[in-house]
Amino acid sequence: MSERVEVERKVLSENDKLAAEIREGLSAKKILALNLVSSPGSGKTSLLEKTLYVLDKEFNIAIIAGDVQTDNDAKRLERAGGKTVRPIMTGGACHLDARMVVKVLDEIDIDKLDLLFMENVGNLVCPSGFDLGEDMKVVLMSTTEGDDKPLKYPSMFRKSSALVINKIDLLGLSDFDIDKAEKHALQVNGGLDIIRLSCRTGENINHWCDWLRDKIAEKKE
């Protein structure tokens, strides 16, 4: 066995241990934790902005905003009304890991929290291998991408519980086939909840927020 493989296994093992501790702590307080993943530009931050607009007065929401270099997304979310937004700049790393999340959680008062979003770095490869202590992953794709993306990045779609297809207002402006995209996603993971929406126009944002309400209620049972 190569030294590199052994190091990678050690890193993942340590990450999984920390992630389990995070999950245990959040679950004890009945906080729904979601790991939001996508390729760059799919609309994670836009979706969070819309979510804050609809649900911020209904639930206590915290957001960990991961990015490679800047805190631009975190600032956007604060301007959108986010009361508890914490940036993580990975300094070049292509994903968040549990160690990063632990450090930021120490800065958040989780006692009255209902919902925690972890906005991961825009990447459909690296984040699939790192548990952050979330209850589930939510993967985004948009109609400006290829409808075969679930087949190209099966690990991420297989490990996710929900798929949000964003930018449906742009359907028809490219060769993207939304029915084919859903078919490919379900081929990889037949248990995916799928929501079509547009962050730009707000179409079907209520479907997404209703899905969140249901998951928060389930967590508090």
pLDDT of residue 57: 94
**Chain-centroid distance, C-alpha 155:** 15
Extract the tokens encoding 102.
Answer: 């632990």
**DSSP assignments along 140-171, one per residue:** EEETTS-TTHHHHSHHHHHHEEEEEEE-GGGT
Distances (CA, A) of 82 to 3, 78, 135: 44, 5, 21
pLDDT tens for each residue of the chain, 221 residues long = 455 545 456 667 899 999 999 999 999 999 999 999 999 999 999 999 999 999 999 999 999 999 998 899 999 999 999 999 999 999 889 999 999 999 999 999 999 999 999 999 999 999 999 999 999 999 999 999 999 999 999 999 999 999 999 999 999 999 999 999 999 999 999 999 999 999 999 999 999 999 999 999 999 98
Distances (CA, A) of 32 to 13, 138, 214: 24, 12, 11
Helix, strand, coil tally for the chain in percent (to 5):
45, 20, 35
pLDDT of residue 8: 55
- Tell if the pTM clears 0.75, that is, is over it: yes
* Rounded Cα distance, 170 and 172, in Å: 6
pLDDT of residue 92: 85
> Spelled out in words, what is the top-level CATH class assigned to the domain 3-220?
alpha beta
Provide the residue ranges of all domains of the chain, joining segments of one domain with +: 3-220
pLDDT of residue 190: 98
